Amino acid sequence: MISKLATSKVARVLVMTAIVFGLSVFALAQAAPAGGAAASSAPDSPSAAAALASKATGTKVGTINIEQAIFASNEGRTAAEALSKKFEPKQNELKVSADEIDSLQKQLSAQQDKLNDESREKLVKQIETKKKSFDRATQDAQEDFQNQQGEIGNKVLTKMAPLIVKFATDNGYGMILDTSQQWPRGPVIWYGPAVDITQPVVEAYNAQSGVPAPASTTPKPKPATPKPAAPSSPKQ
């Protein structure tokens, strides 16, 4: 729980995946693990998913927020909560460092008129050294969290992709657009809730995966990680 990852690895993976069946359904199919233990309600291999999509005759256009679907699923939520729990010690460690720097900054602000040049310079240098160490540790923790969150997204997506193909073809869709990224970063300018298939896909995936809902009853479509307030630069 280090910071809110506005541009997470998961988001980049999802943009690259480009869930637009008219253009990349084969790429989606290839994301499914060969020989995977898919339920009977979804294609059980990449070739099966590709064959299913190639025979689709639907004409409806729908939308899905892939990132939300991943982390609103029972499997995604469970994994995200475990990851946040794993990073709690690091979060606490960073908070201690941030509080220490803040205390030193307050000391400098309160005593700088009373300190001689040597003492003031020593305190400023101490603050700067600790702040650099804090910034480096925060960045490393963010990157580690981001990478592991991306792995969760990839794992769920490889199993969810064939199910999306199956759901779309069974329900008369000829194209599905990903709305994980808002326009202009994403392809969709506007859409209504009637065309969004995110929730039914999540429900179908939960039934397929057999993973029970986590103890927390609040959906977490986009895991966020609170960050300790960054210490301000010391005044000299």
Q: What is the pTM of this model?
A: 0.68
CB 17 within 8 A of CB 24: yes
Identify the three-state secondary structure at position 217: coil
- How high is the pLDDT of residue 47? 57
Identify the three-state secondary structure at position 64: strand
Amino acid at 73: S
- How high is the pLDDT of residue 10? 42
The number of angstroms, rounded, from the C-alpha of 58 to the middle of its chain's C-alpha atoms is 31
Whether the link from the prior residue into 231 is cis, omega within 30° of 0, is no
CB 42 within 8 A of CB 161: no
- How high is the pLDDT of residue 199? 97
The single residue listed with the structure tokens 């480096």 is: 136
- How high is the pLDDT of residue 56? 67
CB 17 within 8 A of CB 9: no
- How high is the pLDDT of residue 202? 97
**Residue boundaries of the structural domains of the chain:** 9-209
Q: Which of 106, 143, 111, 105 is nearest to 127 (CA)?
A: 105
Residue-by-residue pLDDT tens, the chain, 236 positions: 444 333 344 444 333 333 333 333 333 333 433 333 333 344 545 555 556 666 667 889 999 999 999 999 999 999 999 999 999 999 999 999 999 999 999 999 998 888 898 999 999 999 999 999 999 999 999 999 999 999 999 999 999 999 999 999 999 999 999 999 989 988 899 999 999 999 999 999 999 999 999 986 554 544 444 344 455 555 54
- How high is the pLDDT of residue 224? 40
